[in-house]
Homo-oligomer: A and B are copies of this chain.
Amino acid sequence: MAYLKNAWYVSALSTEVGPVELFHRKIMDTSILIYRKEDGVAVALHDRCPHRFAPLHLGKRDGDQVICIYHALRFDCTGKCTHNPHGEGRIPQAAVVRSFPLEERHGMLWIWMGDQPADLARLPDFGPLDEGHPHGVGYTYMHMKANYELIIDNVMDLSHIDHLHGEIITTRGKLSPKVPQIKEGARSISARWEWEQTPAMLIFADHLPQPKEEARHFFDITWTPPANIQLSVGAVQNDGALDLANCVGQYDLHTTTPETENSTHYFFATRRNHIEDDAGYNDMKIKAMHAAFENEDGPVITAAHEEMGTTDFFSLKPVLMTNDIAPVKVRRLLSKLIKEEQRPDALAQ
């Protein structure tokens, strides 16, 4: 399957990789080893010894180095072989493990899987996740047995929330009739919805001045390649701006990483701007959102994936409607970027 390779994908939540653990995960069909050096900085290597192909995560650490379990070849955190206990100990030139650029930002470990030099300018700034009380932000990880583009589709078309999800985030039918405003960038697609509902979304109503009265709402989502969707949502009962600064709301990041063409690592982060210092509420909130993805979105996306198999989405002639404008634009732009990357002269760009 064609993936956008020269891009930053989340390989793991920061909290998934402990200080001494040899963490491993398959990313775009490749086995990846992730571990933190003694200074805490995380590194990523191909999880495969170049000698006999044993996974390195089965081995052990010695300081910042990794020792293969099978024949004890030792590699530093750049993948260079530093010790061969066999024969006279000569280290073959080819005894190198591929290393992958890894950046820790916004509570996540971002990996660059491509052959072009890693370009930090391509890692979007999700700074708002980092700003505020530590109990105002939550993170979760889900493994989904579906292609990652179906998960992007799901978030890019928020019209599903009244139909698929429960009472707690219902817009009482107000969202679906709205056709979102779309903005297209060279490497981004945004959609914005605005609506009124009475009462406000239940996740916000109690934090507004008049919980049972009407409130103005907005959703603002922006996809950036390869698979990030930043979503802001809020409600307000004053006449000010319809943005997070003036609303009771939250700043979320949905981001997906293909494991294979049939399975996806789904990472989610959410920062709210209300009752930020309540650890119990924070815990309940991220668990509830995790449960909604797993129990409500997950089964439908997985079932649709099983229906589609690996057949190309457009070749199945989906009936497309106004609510599909944003996800279809994302599919087309992503497809264009992948094709550009695969052009013979792509490296020279």
Interface residues of A (CB under 8 A from B): 31, 48, 50-55, 58, 67-72, 84-90, 92, 94-95, 153, 157, 159-160, 162-164, 173, 176-179, 299-300, 303-304, 307-308, 316-324
Which of chain B's residues have a CB closer than 8 A to the CB of A84?
Answer: 321
Identify 5 new A-B residue pairs, CB closer than 8 A, beyond the known A54-B300, A92-B321.
A52-B318, A55-B303, A70-B163, A85-B163, A87-B322
What is the distance, in angstroms, from A147's C-beta to the closest C-beta of chain B?
12
- Given A160-B71, A300-B69, answer yes or no on A323-B58 (Cβ-Cβ < 8 Å): no
Which residues of B sit under 8 angstroms from A92, Cβ to Cβ? 319-321
**A320: chain B residues within 8 A (beta carbon):** 51, 92
Assess the B179–A87 pair: CB atoms within 8 A: yes
Determine whether the beta carbon of B299 is less than 8 Å from that of A53.
Answer: no
Q: Who on chain B is nearest to A180 by CB?
A: B87
Report the separation of the CA atoms of residues A85 and B175 in the bound assembly, to the nearest whole angstrom. Answer: 10
Instruction: Tell whether A176 pairs with B318 under 8 Å between CB atoms, given A53-B307, A58-B300, A164-B70.
Output: no
Q: Is the CB of B50 within 8 A of A86?
A: no
Given known A163-B69, A163-B70, A300-B70, contact A176–B86 (CB-CB < 8 A): yes
Could you say which of B52, B95, B322, B323 contacts A304, with CB atoms under 8 Å apart? B52
A50 to B71, CA, bound (A): 49
The answer to whether A316 touches B53, judged by C-beta atoms less than 8 angstroms apart, is yes
20 sample A-B contacts, Cβ–Cβ < 8 Å, listed by A number: A51-B318, A52-B304, A52-B318, A53-B308, A53-B316, A55-B303, A55-B307, A68-B163, A69-B163, A69-B164, A70-B304, A71-B163, A71-B176, A72-B176, A85-B173, A86-B176, A86-B321, A86-B322, A87-B176, A92-B319
**Least CB separation from A178: chain B residue:** B87
**Which B residue sits closest to A93, measured CB to CB?**
B319
Q: Contacts A85-B177, A307-B55; is A159 near B71 (CB within 8 Å)?
A: yes
Assembly CA distance A58 to B163 (angstroms): 12
Report whether B299 and A58 are in contact in the complex, using a CB–CB cutoff of 8 Å: yes
Q: Chain B's nearest CB lies how many Å from the CB of A254?
A: 17
- Chain B positions within 8 Å of A50 at CB level: 318-319
A-B pairs with the 8 shortest C-beta distances? A87-B322, A72-B163, A85-B176, A86-B323, A53-B304, A53-B307, A50-B319, A95-B319
